[in-house]
Amino acid sequence: MDYNYPIRHDWSTAEIIAVAAFYEAVEKAYESGIQRERLMESYRDFKKVVPSMAEEKTLLKEFEEASGYVCYRVIKAAKEGMDNELIKGVQR
């Protein structure tokens, strides 16, 4: 990883950790796969920090530009998946 996660400097340490964990979950979905429930849990924690849809879109776009990973596709696959499903190999 040779890019920085998009974060906001007014977030607490716990909030930064929650958002970073979500970004890491998206990376894992692309690289090796992640259990659907674990991904959804990290997304729920992310939404506690970023409840605004507008801010979410901004952050996810910044993350996509930096990493090449599209969070929307991963979240969509997880929402459509089964409980114990492995979310893996999402196309870029």
Does residue 42 belong to any structural domain of this protein?
yes
Does residue 7 belong to any structural domain of this protein?
no
Find the domain containing 21 and state its range. Answer: 13-87
At residue 83, what is the residue type?
D
Does residue 2 belong to any structural domain of this protein?
no
Q: Is 63 helix (H, G, I), strand (E, B) or coil?
A: helix
Does residue 82 belong to any structural domain of this protein?
yes
Here the CATH number for the domain that contains residue 48 is 1.10.220.80
pTM of this structure: 0.92
DSSP state of 34: E
List, in sequence order, the alpha helices (H) in 32-92: 36-49, 53-67, 71-80
Does residue 3 belong to any structural domain of this protein?
no
pLDDT in tens, 40-89: 999 999 999 999 999 999 999 999 999 999 999 999 999 988 877 898 86
* Average pLDDT estimate for 3-24: 97
The tally of domains found in the chain comes to: 1
Does residue 6 belong to any structural domain of this protein?
no
